[in-house]
Structures are given as structure tokens and as C-alpha cells.
């Protein structure tokens, strides 16, 4: 059993390293192919690294690499993640940021277009996909992702919303450095980045589940075998068509667990009625798997 558990963990670790590599390619493409040619600033620490790079090149005559700056600016946040989140999460975050540093340097810039709107939209979409994918599989891309996770655990706010709040200074900086039209273009890129990230990273989405079934014990056992969630059972319901006795099950899951819920329902009672609705806010305990 221990050998099997170790094999599963090694497979998961390999998958996370692969995801970190995919993210590093995404952020490199976004930066070198879109943001830099279009004079667009990214969100978070990547945007801060771009800003430091621009100011040091323009006013000090020192060309500090964006990738290297990205890693250096993330060091305090690595420490925060080590203390507040988990050691394993921090190690994979360092791997993801380290790979990004290398890929930004290795992947040579290609100017596909200098149109700022196109660069803002496509750069934000590519980076948002990579960031959301990384978060979905339990690793962080550093920077505001770490702050976002810490704050989300305390407030329940979504990752994209938190990122946009912290990124106001990036937009202002873009206005001062490149002109105010580019501040608006950067705002578009940051917005696209946040929306795509929220679509891909479904772990922070909360959904209320209502299951109407005549096999409540079988369904409960199956759901709890697949998902670690509490379930409330309401007995004594009645179908209006055939007046069959039913039970109603209530639970709350994350968007990341919808597939596992569907698998559990198909195994236990494929004829049951299942309704899912988005939740704005949860008060009380809601279990989140360790990252």
C-alpha cells in the first residue's frame, strides 16, 4: 500500500513539474511576443519586474533582465508561502518561477504585432491560461497568487478580484512611463488575464448541490467516497408525478470537484435529479484540500 501511495505521489509531482513548465512557456510567450512589443504591463510581480526593468534601462542605463527581476521580487513571497501555505506548495512555486526566469531568457522575442489592444488581449489570455492551469494543479506562479491564496482563505474573495485590486499601481505606472493610453491598454490586459484565470482555476468557485433521490444512503456513500464533503439529508420528500418517496441531499463543492460529483452520481443513482448553483459567499467552515 505504501509503495502504491509513493507511486501516486511521484506521478502527481511529475505532473506538477510539467504544469510548471507549461506555465513558464505561457508567461514567456505573453511577455516576449505581446506585452513587451506592445508596451503593455502585466499584472502582479511580473508587471513590477517589467516596471523596474523599464526604469533601470531608461534612467540608470542598466539592463536588468525581467526574468531575473521576477525571481528576486518573489523571494519575500516564497517566505510567506513557506510560513502560511505549505512547504510543498512553496517548493513547486520556486520551480515554476525558476522555470519562467529561464524561459523568458531562452525564448527569444518575436514581434507578431505592436498593436497595443491586440497585445493586451492576447498577452492577458495566454498568461491567464497558464496561471489558472498552474493554480488548478496545486502550484503557484508566485507573486500575487500567493497573496491571493492567503487572503482568499480569510475572506473568500476570488483570485482574479484580488489580483485586480493589487494591480492598480501597475496601471498608473504604465501611464507615467508610456503615456496614459497605454495605462488603459494595460488595464484591458490585466482584466483579460484575471477573467481567463478565473475560468481555468475553478478551485475557488463554490457551488451548492441539491440531489433528489430515492437511494440516499447509496448516493451519500458514493459522493463521500469521491469527495470529502459533508452532506445534509432531508427525508420525507415526495415526487409530484408518481408520489414516490424521495430524499433531498444538500452539499457544497468547489467547481474543481464537479467531475468527481458527476462520476459519483453515475455510479450510485444515474436516475437522480441534480441541481448545481453558484454561491456568492460561504459563512462557516468549508474544507479545502492542502496545496
Question: pLDDT: is 63 or 32 the higher one?
Answer: 32
H/E run at residue 232: strand 232-238
Which residues are within 8 A (CB) of 77 and not within 5 positions of it... i.e. 6 or more apart? 45, 142, 143, 146, 147
Share of the chain above pLDDT 70, in %: 86
SS3 273: strand
**Dihedral of alpha carbons 49, 51, 52, 53, sign:** positive
DSSP track, 13-57: HHHHHHHHHHHHHHHHHIIIIIIHHHT---SHHHHHHHHHHHHII
pLDDT single digits (tens) 68-118 = 999 999 999 899 888 888 888 888 889 999 999 999 999 888 888 889 999
| pLDDT on residue 32 | 93
| pLDDT on residue 1 | 47
pLDDT single digits (tens) 139-194 = 778 877 787 777 776 666 655 566 667 778 888 888 888 888 888 999 899 889 88
Q: What is the mean pLDDT of the chain?
A: 84
* CB 207 within 8 Å of CB 278: yes
| pLDDT on residue 195 | 86
d(CA 274, CA 262): 9
Whole-structure pTM over 0.85, yes or no?
no
Which residues are within 8 A (CB) of 174 and not within 5 positions of it... i.e. 6 or more apart? 39, 40, 41, 182, 183, 185, 186
**Ordered strands of the 273-278 beta sheet:** 232-238, 245-254, 206-213, 273-278
Question: pLDDT: is 138 or 128 the higher one?
Answer: 128
User: Cell 506592445 maps to which residue?
Assistant: 38
Mean pLDDT of 263-285: 84
- Domains observed in the chain: 2-203 (no CATH), 205-278 (3.30.70.120)
Retrieve residue 36's grid coordinates. 513587451
**Dihedral of alpha carbons 260, 266, 269, 275, sign:** positive
| pLDDT on residue 7 | 55
* CB 50 within 8 Å of CB 41: yes
pLDDT single digits (tens) 31-59 = 999 999 998 988 788 888 998 898 888 88
| pLDDT on residue 9 | 57
Check residue 44 and give left, alpha or beta (phi > 0: left; psi -120 to 50: alpha): left
Amino acid at each position: 500500500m505504501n509503495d502504491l501511495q509513493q507511486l501516486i505521489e511521484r506521478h502527481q509531482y511529475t505532473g506538477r513539474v510539467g504544469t510548471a513548465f507549461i506555465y513558464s512557456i505561457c508567461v514567456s510567450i505573453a511577455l516576449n511576443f505581446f506585452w513587451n512589443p506592445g508596451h503593455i504591463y502585466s499584472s502582479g510581480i511580473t508587471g513590477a519586474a517589467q516596471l523596474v526593468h523599464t526604469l533601470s534601462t531608461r534612467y540608470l542605463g542598466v539592463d536588468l533582465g525581467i526574468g531575473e527581476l521576477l525571481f528576486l521580487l518573489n523571494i519575500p513571497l516564497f517566505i510567506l508561502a513557506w510560513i502560511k501555505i505549505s512547504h510543498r506548495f512553496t517548493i513547486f512555486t520556486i520551480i515554476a518561477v525558476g522555470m519562467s526566469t529561464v524561459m523568458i531568457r531562452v525564448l527569444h522575442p518575436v514581434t507578431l504585432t505592436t498593436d497595443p489592444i491586440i497585445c493586451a488581449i492576447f498577452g492577458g489570455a495566454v498568461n491567464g491560461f497558464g496561471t489558472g492551469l498552474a493554480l488548478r494543479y496545486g502550484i503557484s506562479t508566485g507573486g500575487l497568487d500567493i497573496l491571493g491564496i492567503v487572503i482568499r482563505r480569510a475572506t473568500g474573495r476570488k483570485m482574479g478580484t484580488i489580483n485586480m485590486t493589487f494591480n492598480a499601481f501597475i496601471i498608473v505606472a504604465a501611464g507615467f512611463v508610456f503615456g496614459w493610453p497605454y495605462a488603459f491598454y494595460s488595464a484591458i490586459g490585466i482584466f483579460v488575464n484575471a477573467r481567463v484565470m478565473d475560468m481555468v482555476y475553478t478551485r475557488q468557485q463554490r457551488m451548492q448541490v441539491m440531489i433528489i433521490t430515492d437511494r440516499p444512503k447509496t448516493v451519500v456513500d458514493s459522493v463521500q467516497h469521491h469527495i470529502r464533503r459533508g452532506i445534509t439529508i432531508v427525508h420525507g420528500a415526495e415526487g409530484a408525478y408518481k408520489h414516490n418517496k424521495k430524499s433531498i441531499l444538500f452539499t457544497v463543492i468547489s467547481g474543481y470537484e464537479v467531475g468527481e460529483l458527476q462520476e459519483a452520481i453515475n455510479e450510485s443513482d444515474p436516475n437522480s435529479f441534480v441541481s448545481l448553483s453558484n454561491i456568492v459567499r460561504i459563512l462557516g467552515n468549508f474544507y479545502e484540500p492542502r496545496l
